[in-house]
């Protein structure tokens, strides 16, 4: 059963936190590059079906989940007032292998439902991130920064929502947010289907 991330939630990353806190441990230590974001479900409760969606070709799960994000997070999405929805891109090799980008499937549903243009052309993943596990935090961050390129010099979009399936450490969304901001975006928000627990 998918479980919606319960309140209270971190006002920045949206993870469930203890009562009396406003932000989670991670966001308190280091303020993320994005403005703020929301995830719909607790990761553990949807872990298996996300894995089927990603690895066994169950695209219909993705459409269903994308629609869930669009409707259940409608109020938050409205407040973000975004001009574009940008899915976290896959590397070309991975896209060919899998046949679809799971983040783009979620993003398309949100885009259709809220009438916000889907921009799959804005970001390109130029490197695979498979070898990240061997690296320390600093190397990881550095490596990740080189993994994405902006396809155009001037983004010309003020408010952008980045969409991904899972928020784990937030490093991917952070990297993309700082790239988009360096290229002219003013506000970057995120939406993910699932997120882990905060402290």
6-14, 40-48, 85-93, 129-137 -> range binding Zn ion (CB under 5 A)? 6-14
Is 24 an interacting residue with respect to Zn ion (CB under 5 A)? yes
Q: What is the DSSP string of the chain?
A: ---BPPSSB-TTT--B--TT-SS-HHHHHS--SSSEEEEEEEHHHHHHHHHHHHHS--HHHHHHHHHHHHHHTHHHHHHH--SEEEEPPPBHHHHHHHSS-HHHHHHHHHHHHHT--B-SSSEEE-S--GGGGGS-HHHHHHHHHTTEEESSS----SEEEEEEEEESSSHHHHHHHHHHHHTT-SEEEEEEEEE----
Is 13 an interacting residue with respect to Zn ion (CB under 5 A)? yes
25-33, 104-112, 132-140, 144-152 -> range binding Zn ion (CB under 5 A)? 25-33
Beta carbon nearer to Zn ion, 35 or 71? 35
Measured CA angle at 139 (ends 136, 145), to 5 deg: 135
Spell out, one character per residue from 55 to 94, where the chain touches Zn ion: x when CB under 5 A holds, - when not: ----------------------------------------
Q: How many CB atoms lie within 10 A of CB 11?
A: 13
Beta carbon nearer to Zn ion, 23 or 102? 23
Among 5, 9, 16, 27, binds Zn ion (CB under 5 A): 27
Among 5, 10, 69, 162, binds Zn ion (CB under 5 A): 10
Beta carbon nearer to Zn ion, 10 or 163? 10
For tokens 């490596």, name the residue: 143
Beta carbon nearer to Zn ion, 27 or 69? 27
Is 160 an interacting residue with respect to Zn ion (CB under 5 A)? no
Measured CA angle at 55 (ends 72, 133), to 5 deg: 95
Is 5 an interacting residue with respect to Zn ion (CB under 5 A)? no
Q: How far is the CB of 21 from Zn ion (least distance, A)?
A: 10
Is 12 an interacting residue with respect to Zn ion (CB under 5 A)? yes
Q: How far is the CB of 64 from Zn ion (least distance, A)?
A: 27
Where along the sequence are the contacts to Zn ion (CB under 5 A)? 10, 12-13, 24, 27
């Amino acid at each position: 059963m998918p479980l919606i991330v319960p309140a209270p939630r971190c006002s920045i990353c949206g993870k469930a936190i203890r009562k009396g806190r406003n932000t989670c441990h991670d966001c308190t230590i280091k303020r993320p590059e994005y403005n703020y974001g929301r995830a719909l479900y607790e990761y553990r409760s949807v872990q298996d079906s996300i894995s089927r969606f990603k690895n066994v070709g169950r695209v219909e799960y993705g459409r269903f989940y994308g629609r869930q994000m669009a409707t259940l997070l409608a109020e938050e999405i409205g407040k973000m007032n975004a001009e574009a929805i940008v899915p976290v891109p896959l590397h070309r090799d991975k896209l060919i292998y899998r046949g679809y980008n799971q983040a783009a499937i979620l993003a398309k549903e949100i885009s259709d439902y809220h009438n916000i243009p889907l921009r799959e052309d804005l970001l390109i993943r130029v490197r695979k991130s498979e070898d990240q596990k061997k690296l320390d935090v600093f190397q990881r961050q550095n490596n990740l920064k080189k993994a994405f390129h902006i396809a155009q010099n001037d983004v010309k979009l003020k408010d952008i929502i980045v969409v991904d399936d899972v928020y784990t450490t937030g490093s991917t969304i952070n990297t993309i947010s700082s790239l988009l901001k360096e290229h002219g975006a003013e506000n970057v928000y995120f939406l993910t289907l699932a997120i882990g627990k905060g402290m």
